[in-house]
Amino acid sequence: MTDRLDRWADPPLLVLASLADEPKHGYAITQDVAETMGVRISAGTLYAVIARLEARGLIEPLESDDRRRPYQITMAGAEVLAQESERMSKVASVARERLSIRLGWAGA
């Protein structure tokens, strides 16, 4: 069931969240998302997302001597991430509140 719910995770948001603290290259993003958010992003999905985020100016590539090019979040990307985080926080808050009423669940 958890695997199925993982599919609902929004990969662009996961990538933005991963880049929120420091620039990372592709492999570092997949590792970070897997370790901290528990979602595995495939190589194909990651670069489709990177291309889309870059096209919208939400992330930007950094110069690199290596073939591993790091990306950093832009101001526009940070704003989008903040708005989405706020929205998700509201959803989580409502979910916790209702679960606690119905099941007496206090959350983690």
Binding region for another protein (CB under 8 A):
22-28, 30-32, 42-48, 50-52, 54-55, 64, 66-70
Minimum CB distance to another protein smaller for 23 or for 96: 23
**Distance of closest approach, residue 78 Cβ to another protein, in angstroms:** 19
Q: Residue 38 in 3-state DSSP?
A: coil
Q: Where are any strands of DSSP class E within 1-108? A: 59-61, 71-73
Residue 88 C-beta: closest distance to another protein, Å: 25
Closer CB to another protein, residue 40 or residue 87? 40
Smallest gap from residue 40 Cβ to another protein (A)? 10
Query: How far is the C-alpha of 64 from the C-alpha of 84, rounded, in Å?
Result: 30
Judged by beta carbon, residue 76 or residue 96, the one nearer another protein is: 76
Query: Could you tell me the two tokens for 85?
Result: 């985080």
Task: Name the residue nearer to another protein (CB basis): 45 or 96.
Answer: 45
Look at residue 24 and give its three-state secondary structure.
strand
User: CA dihedral defined by 29, 35, 40, 44, rounded to 10 degrees?
Assistant: 20
